[in-house]
Each structure stands twice: as structure tokens, then as C-alpha cells.
Amino acid sequence: MNNSAAQFQTLVSTPEVIQGGLSNFVMNGGFDIWQRGTVFIINGVVTADRWRVLASGAGVPTVSATQMTFTPGQTEVPGNPEFYVDFQAFLTPHLPSGTSSSLTNLIENVLLFEGETITVSFWMKGTITGTISVVLSRGFGTGGSPRSADPINEPTAFVQITTPNTWTKYVVKLDVPVTSTGKTLGPIETTVSGLNFATDTRDTSHDPDNQQIQYTGVVSLAQVQLSIGDIDDLEFVGRDVGLELTLCQRYYEINDKSEASFVEGGTHSIWQNFKVTKRIIPTITYFSREEPPTQSNVTVGSTVILSVRDDGFRIRLTTVDPNANTNFVSIDPTDVSHTTTKPWEADAEYA
């Protein structure tokens, strides 16, 4: 890695400047990065990078999130964006208390906005009329105080969808109280501020005025911006897609073309580097698909993860002679290195 690349990796791995030095604290606010896929119907998963859809509480959840593409040349949403998200999140039946559903952007560091006024702008439309709340939630980290220790200090604003299927720009302002006093905080990289677009709220944190909203239509969301300060006409500030991807890879990275090189025969210990240092020690998952080694009579019999750090992980490969189904031992000491493709993901996202 050259000096400039090393300096950049250091930059994007520092919590104080993790937003890339720009004014938008929302990562992937333009919905350009979708490493995990483009259609999601599973409750509680991250969809577009840094965005989680969740229907929480009693009842049967209805959840979905789908990547959508703007028609080239459209003029309803300015700036020629490429993508937006369609999502639903609600529970059936609509019970009187104790549940909440939302699409949430996960922002590292619970202390970022304490004592500040923040302004959130976004473009939104919905398939039916109704109310949606914009909520800043907080999580105090691994080993920290539970969220239930701060049930009424999550600032909330309510917005109305009055004309279905019409893109509208919204600007809301939230006064964020100081809530860390008297709380136990975990390591700062494990704490989180959540920007929630809540569609089904019946708890005191996401619905402090007890409006008990439930929006059952499909919500379309684009160009989400969060900045510190009281800003009347906050505009969306996009980032270069390459930079946005790098920022997102602090939390999740997928490598479909990871090549493991080895010399034919026996077992091999191989180090795999991450593109970006992760927020925490990630969970490594290998996918079932792989490409065969470049040596035709050698296959990979097993892959064992030996160790994981925030900058990479070590695996052990066992090469097998497919004809004998045993560890293949080369009889030619001059064999050159061969490669196999072993796709994997590294997940350091918030649980």
C-alpha cells in the first residue's frame, strides 16, 4: 500500500472523521451502495449499505426494501440521482404500545450530536396519505447502558404525506439533549446514533406525543442529508461513489473475487487483507460458490478460519486430489503457485 493509500485508510478508519470530512453525517444517503443485494424481505437486516429495515414488537411484521432507479432526465428530484429506496415496515395487528418499525441509518458514535440542533433533509413520497416520524435514537454500546435507560430523550419530528405518489422535499430540525450524563458507555466505536424513518410507532421513544402512527403504504426515500446546525434550506451533499463505498466498507465488505494462492499439496495458511480497517473484529462468512484452482487435478477440500483481526484474517486451505479424495501431495518440488477464488464477506455492522 502506498503512502497516500495508507493515509486515506487511516482517515476513514478514525471515528472523529469517519464521515469523510463532508457535512453529511448520513453514509449512503444517496442509496448508491448496495453490497448485499437489491431486494430484501427479511426483518431486521441491513439493506442498502448502512440502512436497516426493522419491524420490532408483537404482531406479524411486514417488511421490505428494494433498490429503485430514477428515470434518466427526471426533474422531480434534483441533482440527477441514480437510485432511491422503496420500503415498508409495520406490524399487524396495530397494538396500543411497545413496538416500533422503521428504516434506520446507523451513525457511529452516540456523542456526535449531543447538545446540538441537527437538521435533516430528504426527498420522500408514499403510495397513500399518512404520517411518518423522523427520530434520532441512541445506543450506548457494548457493555453500556441499555437503550431503555433513556426512553424519552429521542428527539422526534412528524411529517405528512398529503399527496400520494408525489416526490416532496422535507426539512426537519431536532434538538438533541445531552443524554450520556450518568450513563455507562461502551467503546465509542460500538455506540450508535440512529436516524429512523419510523412508519409504525407505539412506544414512548419513537412516539413521545403518543400519536400511535402506522403507515402501511410503500415509502420512497432519496437524498437523505443530516448536518449539525439550524439550517432552513438544507441541500443534499453527495460524495464520490468510490469514497462512499470505502466509508461503507468499514462496516461491511464483500469480496467475490478473493484469490487464495498456494503451492500444490497439503494444507496452506493464507492471509486475506480487508480493503478498509473494520469498526470492530468482523464476522467472516464464506459463500458456497468458488472457482476451481488453476491446477486441474487439485481441488480445495476445506477452508478453516484460523484468526480474524480488524484489518484481515487468516485461513487454512486443504488441497485434495479429486480422484483419491485425500490430501494431495505434490511429487514435483518445482510446482509453481496456483490460485482459487474463495468469495467471502466481512460483517462489522451493528447488531
pTM, two decimals, is 0.84
The whole-angstrom separation of Cα 47 and Cα 195 is: 15
pLDDT of amino acid 148: 66
Q: What is the gyration radius of the CA atoms in the chain, in angstroms? A: 23
Place of cell 420512497: 220
Residue 235 burial (CB count, 10 A): 16
- Structural domain boundaries in the chain: 3-248, 252-347
Of 88, 60, 120, nearest to 198 (Cα)?
88
Indicate the DSSP class of residue 214: B
Yes or no: say if 346 and 278 are a contact pair by the CB < 8 Å rule.
yes
**225: pLDDT strictly greater than 80:** yes
Range from 105-114, 201-210, 301-310 that averages highest in pLDDT: 105-114
Rounded-to-integer distance, Cα 220 and Cα 67, Å:
10
| Residue at grid coordinates 491446477 | 295
Q: Can you read off the three cell numbers belonging to residue 92?
A: 399487524
Average pLDDT over residues 294-315: 74
pLDDT per residue over 97-121, tens digit each? Answer: 667 899 999 999 999 999 999 999 9
Q: What was the pLDDT predicted at 341?
A: 62
Which residues make beta-bridge pairs with 94?
A: none
CA-closest candidate to residue 340, choices 218, 258, 235: 258
H helix or E strand, kind and range, residue 11 = helix 3-12
Phi and psi at residue 209, to the nearest 5°: -90, 5
CATH number for the domain running over 252-347? 2.60.40
The answer for residues whose C-beta is within 8 angstroms of residue 301's C-beta and 6 or more apart is 318, 319, 320, 327
User: Does position 294 have pLDDT exceeding 70, yes or no?
Assistant: no
Q: What is the pLDDT of residue 197?
A: 97
Question: What are the b/e assignments for 236-245, b being 16+ CB within 10 Å?
Answer: bebbeeeebb
7 pLDDT above the threshold of 70? no
pLDDT in tens, 11-63: 444 444 444 446 899 999 999 999 999 999 999 999 999 999 999 888 889 99
Per-residue pLDDT band at 266 (split at 50, 70, 90): low
pLDDT category at 74 given cuts 50, 70, 90 is: very high
Q: Cell 414488537 appears where?
A: 57
278-289 pLDDT per residue, tens: 999 999 998 765
- CA 265 from chain center: how many Å? 40
Cα 133 to chain center, whole Å? 21
* 3-class DSSP assignment, residue 86: strand
The Cα-based distances of 1 to 5, 111, 276 in angstroms read 6, 33, 12
Q: How would residue 296 be classed by pLDDT, with cut points 50, 70 and 90?
A: very low
Are 227 and 172 contacting, i.e. CB atoms less than 8 angstroms apart? no
Residue 305 is predicted with a pLDDT of 87
- Under CATH, which number does the domain 3-248 receive? 2.60.120.260
Q: In whole angstroms, what is the distance from residue 124 CA to residue 168 CA?
A: 6
Nearest in space to 102 (alpha carbons), one of 174, 195, 190, 30: 195
Share of the chain above pLDDT 90, in %: 59
Residue 180 one-letter amino acid: S
Residues 135-147: what's their mean pLDDT?
A: 91
* The pLDDT of residue 107: 96
What span, in angstroms and rounded, lies between the C-alpha atoms of 147 and 139? 6
Q: What is the pLDDT of residue 149?
A: 59
- Percent helix, strand, coil in the chain, to 5, is 10, 40, 50
Burial class (CB in 10 A: 0-12, 13-18, 19+), 335: middle
Calculate mean pLDDT across residues 57-78: 94
CB crowding 172-187: b at 16 or more within 10 Å, else e: bbbebbebbeebebee
Least confident window among 21-35, 114-128, 166-180, 247-261:
247-261
Look at residues 106, 184, 196, 102 and name the one whose alpha carbon lies nearest to residue 147.
184
pLDDT band of residue 171 (cuts 50, 70, 90) is very high
Q: Say which DSSP state 229 is in.
A: S
User: What whole-number distance in Å separates Cα of residue 315 and Cα of residue 248?
Assistant: 24
